[in-house]
């Protein structure tokens, strides 16, 4: 009799639509993904979608802030740069220079300073010089054919040019950032090997 009940329950379960059996979360991102083609790096986690010095009518160029990461500050006026601030800014400049950027978004599109919050991806072929660096980080984003798609937010953390943002929320790629931060810290990559704290 017990077997018949089990079979009956299984058949009822199998006929019930999935959405009635499992709670499904439909997360809405604040904007659709988009492509950007030029940038002016402000510091190790922020850049503009315009050439340096260019302005658009109105508020100026759109400023993008990498989600989930916190790079050391560069010098501003009388304020000196944080340890590794200039290096982080130079690294992001080298990463983004001349590349097409694929921007993805999360639940919030705008940060507290009016900057657009984004996950930023770059792509390259097997002969792209960046692929060699990615191999140093366990082939981060590298496909079997040698081409790559790398999450810039993750790479700057993994290479030690940024730490996790202290108020990091549950974003769509945060688990990847946590792992990258652990690997960078344990390997004393970048700022982890030279900066205090």
pLDDT digits (tens, 9 = 90+) for 144-190: 999 999 999 999 999 999 999 987 777 899 999 999 999 999 999 99
> Which CATH number does the domain housing residue 121 bear?
2.40.50.90
Q: Are 153 and 92 in contact (CB under 8 A)?
A: no
13 within some domain: no
9 within some domain: no
20 within some domain: no
Q: Which domain holds residue 127?
A: 25-194
Q: Are 152 and 182 in contact (CB under 8 A)?
A: no
Q: Kindly state the average pLDDT of the residues 71-93.
A: 96
Structural domain count, the chain: 1
Q: Which residues of 113-141 are buried (b: 16+ CB within 10 A; e: fewer)?
A: eebbbbbbbbebeeebebbeebeebeebb
**Is the C-alpha dihedral spanning 70, 76, 79, 85 positive or negative?**
positive
Q: Are 79 and 90 in contact (CB under 8 A)?
A: no
Mean pLDDT of the residues in the chain: 87
2 within some domain: no
15 within some domain: no
42 within some domain: yes
CA angle 173, 107, 152 (to 5 degrees): 35
Whether the model pTM is above 0.95:
no
pLDDT digits (tens, 9 = 90+) for 24-73: 445 688 999 999 987 899 999 999 998 787 765 556 889 999 999 999 99
Does pLDDT of 15 surpass 80?
Answer: no
Does pLDDT of 18 surpass 70?
Answer: no
111 within some domain: yes
The SS3 of residue 178 is helix
């Amino acid at each position: 009799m017990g077997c018949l009940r089990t079979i009956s329950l299984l058949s009822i379960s199998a006929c019930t639509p999935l959405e009635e059996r499992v709670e499904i979360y439909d997360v809405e991102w604040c904007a659709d993904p988009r492509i950007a083609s030029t940038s002016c790096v402000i510091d190790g986690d922020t850049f503009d979608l315009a050439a340096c010095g260019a302005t658009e009518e109105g508020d100026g160029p759109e400023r993008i802030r990498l989600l989930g990461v916190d790079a050391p500050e560069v010098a501003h006026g009388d304020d000196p740069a944080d340890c590794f601030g200039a290096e982080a800014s130079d690294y992001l400049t080298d990463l983004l220079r001349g590349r097409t950027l694929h921007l993805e978004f999360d639940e919030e599109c705008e940060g507290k300073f009016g900057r657009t919050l984004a996950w930023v991806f770059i792509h390259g072929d097997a002969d792209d010089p960046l692929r060699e660096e990615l191999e140093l980080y366990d082939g981060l984003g590298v496909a079997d054919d040698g081409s790559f798609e790398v999450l810039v937010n993750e790479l700057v953390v993994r290479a030690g040019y940024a730490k996790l943002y202290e108020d990091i929320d549950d974003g769509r790629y945060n688990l990847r950032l946590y792992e990258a931060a652990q690997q960078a810290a344990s390997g004393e990559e970048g700022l982890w090997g030279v900066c205090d704290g």
